[in-house]
Amino acid sequence: MIRVDGRSDSPSLIRVRGLNKTYRRGGENIQVLQGLNLDVDQADFVAFMGPSGSGKTTLLNLLGGLDVPSAGSITVAGDEITHMSASKLTQWRARHVGFIFQMYNLIPVLTAFQNVELPLLLTKLSKSERRKHVETALGVVGLSDRMNHFPRQLSGGQEQRVTIARAIVSDPTFLLCDEPTGDLDRKSADEIMALIEELVGKYHKTVLMVTHDPVVAARAHTTLHLEKGVLVEGAARKGVLVGGVA
Amino acid sequence: MKFNRFILANLFRKKIRLILTVGSFAVALFLFTFLAVVKSAFSRGTELAGADRLVVINRAGLINTIPLSYRDKILQIKGVKAVTHNNWFGGVYQDEKNFFPQFVIDPENQRQVMTEMRVPDDEWNNFVKDRQGAIAGAGLAKRFGWKVGDRIPLKNALYGPTKTWEFVLDGIYHNDHPGGDESQFWLQWKYFDETVPSVIKSLVGWYVVKLDSPDDSVSVAAAIDKGFANSSTETKTETESAFAAGFAKQLGNIELLILTIGGVVFFTLLLVTGNTMAISVRERVGELAVLKAIGYPDLYVLFFVLSEALVIALIGGLIGLGLAVLAIPVVGAALRGLLPPLLLSVGVLSLGLAFAVFVGVASGLLPGIGAMRLRVVDALRRV
């Protein structure tokens, strides 16, 4: 169950309380997020929608430990990340977060295999163990036969699959997807969304996704709308309690 | 190491840029090594100079002579073991470009003073007996293909009307010091003194004094100069190394010139490589941000940038040093007579490698720190 009223008593996988984010631009304080609450359980699939500048990506960055909030707390699997040092946060990201970007952001000089292997180079796994993990991840995304291809030799959809394989190879706690289909045609977008649904349904991955596309958002269990940094409404296929500070 | 492949893959992403940067490193390292070798060649005389030898010259300057009669007075000074005297001959062998130093020597004492220059006894005895005899350094003999018994004509205009002096090569000397001078040509004092005009007779260019102990050098030098003070020919006595350094300085401040050129090479290389690394990092801001996002610590990012700079430096440096190993003997042969022998030592090669490593790390440091401090959120927004 996804809740945004901040009143959940049961321990959730991701718990956000009173999240604020303020930027200072041109001598003016811009409040991007305002007292946001959120509870997300294991294997939930949440889509965040909203107009440009509403704070969707900022929220994703905060949840992924890429940015720090101005106030409030984020707790993931019992770890309060908002007070972690930069180096602790880096380690935490490596262990808990899988990132899927709109522009794929693969390293062009590395093959699909080598790109997927990158997160594992930070672990103590042996070469053969790494190979096994990478082959499994590429198998999940259906690219076992493309592992020695460079990104330029792959289609956009295939590149995004490699990104997904890179995100899941270290078996993170949750996945953050920033417009994962934003650069793809409808058919490829459908394939990617089917894959993400499979990760949630079959592998019980928790996915938080930002998108502008209502068709894509409709594939999530829950769609939450952000407007000017405030959670203003929610819609659920599976179930959501709407609240927050708005 | 598991990151090797990643570092190498990044290095080779812009092959032409890599080749040009490595090439500039190679050329710079070659130039650096060559300059270091030239500097070492000029300072070798100072380094190899005997610690227990003094050189006595006319206080008015090296081109002025000193009476032969000073020899016995110098020998009487306490602490002096042996004395020999030399004159500059200044002849031309076949063509002026075939320059080599020619010294008139005192056969009776030369070997007692210049102990590192070895001549086989039989050859030396022939030389002593032969009024027109000559001894050549092994390097000089090799340069002109001379063998013992060859007749060597030297044209000379310093001592009276231009005339050709004939010499017979009686022996060849070798220097005990590695890299020591083997380019001199020695001729007999008696033959010289008998042949020159009367105004030059019994005048020597300088004395070389062998001491009982190097510890006596200051007191003996002072005693020599004091002994000839207020005479018509006052002397200036200094250690052989000071004399060699002063002689090298007559050619100009070689060390300053070489250090200046070396400094320019260093900073140019630093700018070229630093710029390459900065461009390389700027092009990869998004990729570096992704690495940091997926959990690569800042120090790893710095390590990647520094490693790339270091690999460029090492490859370029090794190519440059390899070129130096191949080219310096050839250049040295071509410049023989104009410059002291050019010897590429392990020390110079190690210095070159250290220089390459230093420039590599220095050039990668600023871009690396920039990459390390990159904010993931800002960088991803730029992609």
Q: What is the pLDDT of residues B187-197, one digit of tens each?
A: 999 999 998 88
Backbone angles phi, psi at B354, to 5 degrees: -65, -40
For chain B, give the mean pLDDT. 88
Residues of A in contact with B378 (CB under 8 A): none
pLDDT at A240: 52
Q: What percent of chain B has pLDDT over 90?
A: 51
Write the pLDDT tens digit of every residue in A35-75.
898 999 999 999 999 888 888 889 999 999 999 999 999 99
Residue A243 is predicted with a pLDDT of: 43
pLDDT value, residue A234:
56
Q: Which 3 state secondary structure label does DSSP give A66?
A: coil
Length of chain B in terms of residues written: 383
Whether A246 is covered by a domain: the verdict is: no
pLDDT at A235: 47
Q: Answer whether B9 sits within 8 Å of A110, measured CB to CB.
A: yes
Q: Is residue A42 part of a domain?
A: yes
Q: Are B3 and A121 in contact (CB < 8 Å)?
A: yes
| Predicted local distance difference test score (pLDDT) of residue A12 | 86
pLDDT at B338: 62
Q: What pLDDT sits at residue B336?
A: 64
DSSP one-letter code for B271: H
Cβ–Cβ gap B294/A94 under 8 Å:
yes
Q: Is the pLDDT of residue B208 over 70?
A: yes
3-state secondary structure of A37: strand
Say if the Cβ atoms of B298 and A86 lie within 8 Å.
Answer: yes
Non-local (6+) Cβ contacts of B215 within 8 A are none
Q: Which domain holds residue A143?
A: 2-241
pLDDT, greater one: B160 or B305: B305
Give the pLDDT of residue A99: 94
Minimal-distance CA residue of chain A relative to B12: A109
Which pLDDT does position B242 carry in this prediction?
A: 79
- Per-residue pLDDT band at B44 (split at 50, 70, 90): low
Give the closest-approach CA distance of A223 to chain B in angstroms: 24
Are the C-beta atoms of B312 and B22 separated by less than 8 Å? Answer: yes
Answer for the pair A200, A100: CB distance below 8 angstroms, yes or no. Answer: no
Tell me the CA distances in angstroms from B347 to B27, B28, B47, B353, one per residue in order.
19, 18, 14, 10
The predicted-structure confidence for B93-128, as pLDDT tens digits, reads as follows 998 888 889 999 999 899 899 888 899 999 999 999
* Residue whose token pair is 């071509």: B334
Q: Would you place residue B41 in the very low, low, confident or very high pLDDT band (cuts 50, 70, 90)?
A: confident
Q: Is there a domain that residue A145 lies in? A: yes
Which DSSP category does A122 fall into? G
SS (H, E, C) B152-220: EEEEECCCCCCEEEEEEEEEEEEECCCCCCCCCEEEEHHHHHHHCCCCCCCEECEEEEEECCHHHHHHH
CA dist., res. B101 & res. B167, Å (int)? 15
CA distance B142 to B348: 26
How many Cα atoms occupy the beta-carbon half-sphere of A125 within 13 Å?
17
Q: Which residues contact B315 (CB under 8 A, 6 or more apart)?
A: B22, B25
- Name the residue of chain A whose CA is nearest to B297's CA: A90
**Residue A163 counted as domain residue:** yes
Which residues, given as ranges, of chain A have pLDDT below 50?
235-239, 242-246
Mean pLDDT, residues B215-234: 92
Which of A109, A121, A173 should we substitute to test contact with B (largest number of B Cβ atoms within 10 Å)?
A: A109
Decide if B296 and A64 are in contact by the 8 Å CB cutoff.
no
What does the pLDDT read at residue A236? 45
User: Which residues lie below 8 Å from residue B40, measured CB to CB, with a gap of 6+?
Assistant: B343, B345, B348
A224 neighbors A47 (Cβ within 8 angstroms): yes
Supply the CATH number for residue A145's domain. 3.40.50.300
Q: Which residues of B touch A123 (CB under 8 A)?
A: none
What total number of domains does chain A contain? 1
